[in-house]
């Protein structure tokens, strides 16, 4: 048996957390719709996650995160949110694309880079805002550039 968790499996845990927040209970069908895959695919991954103690699910029943699963889900969600904010607010990318990109790269960035992104956000938010209005300048610049294409 494999000990290591994959990016896809982390995404499943995050999805379960998000669906739980919104719909109270989580079903195979919800996850299948979330990732736009078939139920049988979800089932397979869930069995894997079950085996390793990240989720609990009775046969034909609802899906729940264990403590272990919740910890990972929250962690992924935090990174996801951070990255989305960065890509959207700092880089000036549209909300939808920022969300998509964040989701794809959240598993692949080192702690060092994530920390620096966090600091970048904090820095631009708190320090630079009044001093130079860099975000405003940058966004104006970006939009001018892109619109003129």
Partner DNA sequence: TAATAAAGTTAGGGAACCCTAATAATAATT
Partner DNA sequence: AATTATTATTAGGGTTCCCTAACTTTATTA
Using left for φ > 0, alpha for ψ between -120 and 50, and beta otherwise, residue 92 falls in left
Q: Which stretch binds DNA (CB under 7 A): 35-43, 96-104, 124-132, 135-143?
A: 35-43
- Cα first-last separation, the chain: 53
Using the CB atoms, write b or e for 93-120: b if 16+ within 10 Å: beeeebbebbbeebeeeeeeebeebeee
Query: Does 43 help bind DNA (rule: CB under 7 A)?
Result: yes
SS3 sequence of 13-66: HHHHHHHHHHHCCCCHHHHHHHHCCCHHHHHHHHHHHHHCCCEEECCCCCEEEC
Residue 109 or 134 having the CB closest to DNA: 109
Q: Which of residues 99-128 bind its own copies (CB under 8 A)?
A: 100-101, 104-105, 108-110, 112-113, 115-117, 119-120, 123, 127-128
Q: Which does 108 bind (CB under 5 to 8 A by kind): its own copies, DNA, none?
A: its own copies
* Nearest distance from C-beta of residue 70 to its own copies, angstroms: 26
Tokens representing 3 are 């000990």
Lookup result for tokens 């992924």 = 76
Residue 39 or 53 having the CB closest to DNA: 39
* Nearest distance from C-beta of residue 141 to its own copies, angstroms: 6
- The footprint of its own copies on this chain (CB under 8 A) covers a number of residues equal to 33
Q: Pick the closest to residue 9 from 31, 38, 33, 40 (CA basis).
A: 31
Give residues in contact with its own copies (CB under 8 A).
Answer: 87, 90-94, 97-98, 100-101, 104-105, 108-110, 112-113, 115-117, 119-120, 123, 127-128, 131-132, 134, 138, 141-142, 145-146
Give residues in contact with DNA (CB under 7 A).
Answer: 1-2, 6-9, 27-29, 32, 35-41, 43-48, 57, 59-61
């Amino acid at each position: 048996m494999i000990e290591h968790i994959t990016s896809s499996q982390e995404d499943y845990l995050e999805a379960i957390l998000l669906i739980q927040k919104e719909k109270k209970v989580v079903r195979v069908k919800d996850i299948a719709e979330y990732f736009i895959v078939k139920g049988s695919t979800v089932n397979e991954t869930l069995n894997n996650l079950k085996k390793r103690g990240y989720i609990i699910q009775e046969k034909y029943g609802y899906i729940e995160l264990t403590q272990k699963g919740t910890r990972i889900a929250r962690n992924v969600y935090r990174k996801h949110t951070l990255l989305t904010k960065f890509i959207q607010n700092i880089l000036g990318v549209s909300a939808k694309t920022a969300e998509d990109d964040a989701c794809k790269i959240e598993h692949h960035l080192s702690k060092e880079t994530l920390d620096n992104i966090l600091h970048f956000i904090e820095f631009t938010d708190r320090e630079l805002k009044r001093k130079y209005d860099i975000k405003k300048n940058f966004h104006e610049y970006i939009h001018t550039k892109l619109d003129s294409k």
